[in-house]
């Protein structure tokens, strides 16, 4: 059966040689996903580069002969991935593909990704009950003889590995957490809904590092590539440190976004 396709054609292209898009009307893949997939491919193939101007929602809708709704969905998805920069009164532009993480909001990884319209998932690499080392004891205000669960997970966005996260959890606060489903639900959800420890605030130390061979393998990155290293202590409403985590994120996918306010 022949594929029915419509192309993006307009006398007002962002530039004369701007890439052409196609819609397969007989595909089961939604229109917005087709648009997103083609933009990703064009960026990967370097046919679109950071800073290139892009079509407006109205232009795409008119050129493809479809409503604005799927186009708006595509733009929102691309924006959430850092691939499209949209500013009021300006033509959209191709972005860097780096996701700014706003540390002013206490959100778990899954919550943050879903807020951006992305699909998060996780794989547990290891989960052990052990005596903590000095750094973990200090971070969690533990005493000699206290134990922690050491949970190491590989985090994915849209099926692509983006972070290796190691969480240290006081065993006295989270007994039998090894029996919870830690791949199918947010860790913050487990804290608040299962163990009734309502989260309050977190303290982060953010820095740059070089990926070690194991992290690079897990993240499908080159050994020695740049990573974003985040050490975080999370407190509940009783001001108790209930989690200390060390996250290694791909440096080509994330940037840190911090808002500072000058006190009068």
Interval 71-92 mean pLDDT: 81
Q: Cα–Cα distance between 21 and 248 in angstroms, integer?
A: 36
Tally of CB atoms within 10 A around 259: 8
**In the prediction, which pLDDT does 224 show?**
85
Query: Start-end ranges of CATH 3.40.1410.10 in the chain?
Result: 99-257
Q: How far is CA 81 from CA 19, 137, 169, in A?
A: 20, 36, 30
pLDDT in tens, 177-235: 999 999 888 899 999 999 999 999 888 888 889 999 999 999 988 888 888 898 999 99
CATH number of 5-94: 1.10.10.10
| Among 232, 249, 263, CA closest to 106 | 232
Query: Start-end ranges of CATH 1.10.10.10 in the chain?
Result: 5-94
pLDDT in tens, 117-160: 667 788 999 999 999 999 999 999 999 999 999 999 998 877 77
Interval 168-183 mean pLDDT: 95
Least confident segment among 15-19, 30-34, 225-229, 255-259: 255-259
pLDDT at 5 over 60: no
How much is the pTM? 0.65
CATH (one of 3.30.930.10, 2.60.40.10, 3.30.420.280, 3.40.1410.10) for 99-257: 3.40.1410.10
Least confident segment among 65-79, 106-120, 199-213: 106-120
Which range has highest mean pLDDT (43-57, 210-224, 245-259)?
210-224
Tally of CB atoms within 10 A around 35: 25
Tally of CB atoms within 10 A around 220: 10
C-beta separation of 116 from 80 below 8 A = yes
């Amino acid at each position: 059966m022949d594929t029915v396709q419509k192309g993006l054609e307009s006398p007002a292209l962002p530039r004369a040689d701007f890439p052409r898009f196609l819609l397969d009307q007989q595909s089961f893949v939604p229109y917005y996903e087709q648009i997103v997939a083609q933009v990703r491919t064009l960026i990967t193939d370097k046919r679109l580069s950071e800073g290139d101007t892009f079509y407006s929602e109205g232009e795409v809708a008119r050129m493809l002969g479809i409503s604005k709704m799927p186009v708006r969905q595509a733009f929102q998805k691309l924006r959430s991935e850092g691939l499209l920069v949209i500013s009021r009164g300006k033509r959209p532009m191709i972005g860097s593909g780096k996701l700014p993480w706003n540390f002013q909001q206490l959100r778990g990884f899954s919550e943050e990704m879903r807020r951006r319209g992305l699909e998060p998932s996780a794989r547990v690499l290891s989960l052990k009950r052990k005596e903590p080392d000095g750094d973990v004891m200090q971070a969690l205000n533990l005493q000699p003889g206290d134990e922690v669960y050491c949970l190491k997970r590989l985090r994915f966005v849209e099926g692509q590995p983006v972070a290796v996260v190691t969480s240290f959890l006081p065993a006295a606060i989270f007994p039998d957490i090894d029996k919870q489903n830690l791949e199918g639900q947010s860790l913050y959800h487990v804290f608040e809904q299962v163990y009734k420890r309502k989260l309050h605030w977190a303290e982060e130390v953010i820095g740059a590092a070089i990926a070690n061979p194991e992290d690079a393998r897990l993240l499908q990155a080159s050994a020695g590539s740049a990573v974003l290293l985040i050490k975080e202590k999370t407190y509940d409403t009783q001001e108790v440190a209930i989690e200390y985590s060390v996250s290694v994120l791909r440096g080509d996918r994330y940037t840190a976004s911090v808002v500072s306010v000058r006190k009068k």
